[in-house]
Amino acid sequence: MVSSFNAFLVRQEENGVTAGMTTLALDDLPAGDVLVEVHYSSVNYKDALACSPDGRVARRYPLIPGIDLAGVVLSSANPRFREGDEVIATGYELGVSHAGGYSPYTRLPGDWLVPLPDGMTLKEAMIYGTAGFTAALSVHRMEQCGIRPDGGKLLVTGATGGVGSMAVSMLSRRGYEVTASTGKAAERDYLTMLGAREIISRDEVSGGERKALGKARWQGAVDPVGGGTLAALLSQISYGGCVAVSGLTGGSAVETTVFPFILRGVSLLGIDSVYCPKDVREEIWRRLATDLRPRDPALLLEREIALEELPDALAAIRGGQARGRTVVKCR
Ligand SMILES: NC(=O)c1ccc[n+]([C@@H]2O[C@H](COP(=O)([O-])OP(=O)(O)OC[C@H]3O[C@@H](n4cnc5c(N)ncnc54)[C@H](OP(=O)(O)O)[C@@H]3O)[C@@H](O)[C@H]2O)c1
């Protein structure tokens, strides 16, 4: 068994936080009934918040961030897992109050783990990561709500981001007519390559005069942006349609009226990947390996980085500059 290893650690200092590589021992890892050799993690917006003094995500220091990971079980006292099993973890307290994926090893409760689905590699699991899981959960919930490939256009906001790019790719592969909204005018080709049929600017969704009910343009929307974008698009959803909201890169306050809900029967679906129940979690990962698998997962992988390269990648995603998915090779 390894005696020491290098992990990415955030520490609280007098004037904020510092983040960087540090040498740890297995005894430094938190309690848990499964020890995992982490092969891959990924970079999510929440990770950037966990490493920021004003991010209000980290709930203890020092902390190994990384809200998702894929790896191999080294030892287990949990009856569901044994040495050699390939596993995925996303959400729960990972990278928030419990050591996360930015380390070659972590120890965690086995109840947080999902078996790697057949046909998926550890790296592919982290190309999807929390963002892909969230996009898939959004699609899953919207399909339960009645969206259909022949039901009209679907809008994906924040389309070049992690959740957005995954949603564009997944939905287009399933035959939906996807409109991608983005603040990055230069990324039209990228979004077309992912399968978007139409690309519009952020302002086209949320700019202009705000009406309680606007022209019905979309049968539904995957929205990781929130804020004014969510308020505007709610008024543009067709009768009986739905919006799956997962994020707040555009703000947390949403000023709307009851009219989309009471005059068009629109449903607002809250998407939470963190405490998603285990049976749904396993089903979503199975779907990610089968019918929700993006057409070409490699197209979604923007960069593969080492733990040492995390500061730049975290700054880019915090600044809204990242595109697609960044995978972190942890060993
Ligand atoms: N509910 C959950 O369980 C869950 C799970 C995962 C993520 N999330 C949340 O979902 C959001 C997206 O996460 P992510 O990992 O996909 O982040 P990301 O990769 O940074 O993507 C977010 C995208 O939002 C757009 N954006 C950024 N700033 C904006 C602004 N000021 N106004 C409007 N749009 C803006 C950008 O896309 P364009 O430039 O293309 O517009 C950006 O790429 C975050 O708030 C995250 O915390 C929630």
* CB 225 near ligand 1, within 6 Å: yes
C-alpha 28 – ligand 1 centre gap (Å): 32
CATH code at 5-116+297-329: 3.90.180.10
Could you tell me the distance, in angstroms and rounded to a whole number, from the CA of residue 178 to the centre of ligand 1? 18
Q: Summarize pLDDT for 170-210 with one digit per residue, the tens.
A: 999 999 999 999 999 999 999 999 999 999 999 999 987 88
Domain locations in the chain as residue ranges? 5-116+297-329, 131-270
For domain 131-270, which CATH number applies: 3.40.50.1970, 3.30.1490.20, 3.30.565.10, 3.40.50.720?
3.40.50.720
Whether the model pTM is above 0.95: yes
Residue 295: which of 152, 202, 144, 172 has the closest Cα?
Answer: 172
**Which ligand 1 atom minimizes the distance to the CA of 248?**
45
- Ligand 1 center to residue 319 CA distance, Å? 10
Fold equal for 5-116+297-329 and 131-270: no
Residue 211 pLDDT greater than 90, yes or no: no
pLDDT tens digit string along 277-322? 999 999 999 999 999 999 889 999 999 999 999 999 999 999 988 8
* Residues in CB range of 180: below 8 A, 6 or more apart: 156, 159, 160, 164, 168, 191, 194, 196, 198, 199, 200
Distance from the alpha carbon of residue 160 to the mean position of ligand 1, in angstroms: 9
Whether the CB of 271 sits within 6 Å of ligand 1: yes
